[in-house]
A and B are shown apart, each in its own frame.
Chain A
Amino acid sequence: MNPSVAALRERFGGAVTRSFESCGDTIVHVDATRAIEILRWLKDTPGQDYNYLADITAVEHRDGERPIEIVYELFSLTRKVPLRVKVELPKAEELAVDSAVPIWAGANWLEREVFDMFGVTFRGHPDLRRILMWETYAEGYPLRKDFPLRGRFSRSEQVRQALNANPEAHYSMEELAIANVAHELPAEIRDRLARGQRGVIPDPEGGRG
């Protein structure tokens, strides 16, 4: 077991909820509200030095009762030691966790991808919008287990939407402002963009996805 786990338990006590090994990797579960504090501590504390954020991703288990896990794969470039930190987000509650962008700039696109694929919100993220799917994608979050492999909409509906897509909608409001064309947009898109609805598209069934 990675000695950082004992150090974490000593420093953060109850915020470290679980730790175990799997296939030689050490995994430590921490409390969602203190995750960022803990990640910062792991990065900045001498002797820990987990200065490299290798990856951020999420896991949803097939067992629908289990919470969604946010996985931070850390690596210490000085000590050459990996550590996997996980945060559990129960599905009954709001799927949100604080953003790690203030600690690592590289978290930016990784968190956008988790948001895009799982619908997890990262509080304080500077630019949280869809990244791999397009901004007006309305079928939900593709990597969730309740998302069917072929998508929610029928093939004909997908084609219809693609044909009806307004190419101007593929620019963000700031981008349009630079080009001085925002006023030429259809009123509906302009309103939506003006309300700051970038990347947060209302679910067809109501509520946020």
Chain B
Amino acid sequence: MAEKRVMEMALATTGIDSAGRPVRIPLGVEGEDVEPELGGEHMLLNLGPQHPATHGVLRLVVELDGEVVVRCVPHVGYLHSGFEKLGEYRHYNQIIPLTDRTDYLAPMSNNVGLALAVEKLMGLTITPRCTVLRVIACEMSRIISHLVWLGTTAIDIGAFTPFLWTFQEREKIYDLQEAWTGARLTTSLTRVGGLMADIPDGFVEGLRTFCQNFHKTIDEVERALTRNGIWVARTQGIGALSGEEAINWSLSGPMLRASGVDYDVRKDRPYLGYETYDFDVPIGEVGDVYDRYLVRVEELRQSNRILEQALDRLPDGPINVDDHRVILPPKHAAMSDMESMIHHFKQVMEGVKPPVGEAYLPIESPKGELAYYFVSDGTAKPVRWRIRPPAFINLAALPRMAEGHLLSDLIAINASVDIVMGEVDR
């Protein structure tokens, strides 16, 4: 115990070596228990479902030996809404509002993923302007999602201030999102074959201003955390997974990349022309909480790069495909032209009808590989709509990561998974 205290005192100084790189400071001595074996009986601790550190309604039943986690049993499903079942009773465009509510920290990227999956099913090619606008939507979502993650994880580990900085910055994106879609959360941005609306006046300038100033916030947060002795001690070596294990657990997104596996859907299964953008995919080495933090922070910077490039290349032109079997004709045409009125009627009453077939389309959502899998029997409602939920699959590895760590580390590990219960439970 005394030794641990001394170690914590030592950590009060910043954990950097002479070259200025962060150093990994073990808490306690390698191979030696932090606490002596107490030999008593194990304790059962119920954490959640209502607990601020469980990021929603996750319930963890933890078996503790003293303060060490022997076993952790997650119980999920408290937010189960049956979205997949609901989707089977809805037209394809009516499913889009459901996707808002799955990963509610990044609704626009869910909307984009859904539209892309249906378009793959129908073999539609979207317009160049729509493609770039969807890239902008995806990267805006990644930034707000990672900012929430950064702020709340810092709070979980005990740093309060970064939360205020990141949420302030997130608000700027939310303002733009609201100007574009009319909503902060229920964006329903996309439609099959296009978008609900084009960007409003002043949007490009607003986003450019954001891009130019965004790095300042990241620098500030990094200054407060990256070389902070307490942050380093609380995150380094905690919840580490090797690359092999991360693949075995089907992890995706920053969780997989922090373990050193170079897999980013944007690079490896490109969609929306991501292969034409110049950006890097950050890869971790150790796969611990600290690496996940570094990976996500770097992804914020890379998203900013993509946003700048997308704004530079944003072409003029229509946002919707020119096919009135898919996209509603303009209102004035529907009111004056017979054919348009019929298309309008059929669209509203019958919906979009993809051919018989099935399509699985993954996108790199902020949480990881988000995929929508559709099976169509040629009618306007899908036979099966499957959400491949990255947060759910990443969370499955939590018991493995938490084993043998302290209870307080369980909170840090859980935070590092970046779960959204709306998506885990669907």
Contacts and interface: CB of A to CB of B under 8 A. Distances in A.
B388 interface: yes
B77 A55 contact: no
Contacts of A22: 357-359
B383 A25 contact: no
Contacts of B268: 77, 80
A132 B249 contact: no
Interface stretch (A9-17, A34-42, A105-113): A105-113
Interface stretch (B99-107, B187-195, B297-305, B369-377): B369-377
B183 interface: no
29 contacts: A22-B357, A23-B120, A23-B357, A25-B360, A52-B247, A53-B250, A59-B383, A60-B384, A62-B377, A62-B383, A104-B249, A104-B250, A105-B245, A106-B393, A106-B396, A107-B250, A108-B396, A109-B396, A142-B85, A149-B86, A149-B89, A170-B75, A172-B61, A175-B61, A175-B73, A176-B44, A178-B42, A178-B43, A179-B44
Given A59-B383, A132-B426, A142 B76 contact: no
Interface in A36-66: 51-55, 57, 59-63
Top 5 A-B pairs, shortest CB-CB distance = A106-B250, A179-B44, A132-B77, A109-B396, A23-B359
B84 to A, nearest CB: 6
A133 B426 CA distance: 11
Contacts of B359: 22-23, 25
Given A22-B359, A132-B80, A54 B369 contact: yes
Interface string B364-399: 000001010101010000011010100011011100
Contacts of B140: none
Interface majority SS (helix, strand, loop, mixed), chain B: mixed
B263 A77 contact: yes
A71 interface: yes
A51 B85 CA distance: 30
Given A132-B80, A132-B426, A172-B73, A61 B377 contact: yes
Given A77-B247, A104-B248, A178-B43, A55 B80 contact: no
Contact of B358 (A27, A63, A134, A147): A27
Q: Which of A24, A57, A142, A147 has the most CB of B within 10 A?
A: A57
B261 interface: yes
A57 B396 CA distance: 16
Interface of A: 22-25, 27, 51-55, 57, 59-63, 71, 73, 77, 80, 82, 84, 104-110, 113, 117, 130-134, 142-143, 147, 149, 170-172, 175-176, 178-180
Interface centre among A130, A131, A147, A176 (most CB of B within 10 A): A131
B360 A61 contact: no
Given A27-B358, A80-B268, A175-B44, A149 B85 contact: yes
A131 B77 contact: yes
A54 B371 contact: yes
Interface string B240-281: 000001011111100000000101000011000000000000
Q: How large is the interface on B (under 10, 10 to 19, 20 to 34, 35 or more residues)?
A: 35 or more
Contacts of A62: 377, 383
Which has the most chain A C-beta neighbours within 10 Å: B82, B369, B397?
B82
A107 B375 CA distance: 21
B85 A143 contact: yes
B291 interface: no
B400 interface: yes
A52 B263 contact: yes
Contact of B388 (A54, A63, A143): A54
A131 B75 CA distance: 7
A73 B373 contact: yes
Contacts of B249: 104-106
A57 B393 CA distance: 13
B15 interface: no
Nearest to A149: B89
A134 B263 CA distance: 34
Contact of A71 (B86, B373, B396, B397): B373
A168 to B, nearest CB: 11
B409 interface: no
A61 B251 CA distance: 29
Given A80-B269, A107-B250, 9 more contacts: A23-B359, A52-B263, A55-B373, A104-B249, A105-B250, A106-B251, A109-B393, A143-B84, A175-B73
Most buried by B among A60, A61, A175: A175
A56 B248 CA distance: 14
B232 interface: no
A61 B356 CA distance: 12
Contacts of B121: 23
Nearest to B262: A77
B250 A54 contact: yes
Contacts of A108: 396
Contact of A51 (B247, B375, B392, B393): B247
B139 interface: no
Contacts of A131: 76-77
Given A51-B247, A60-B384, A62-B383, A133 B80 contact: yes
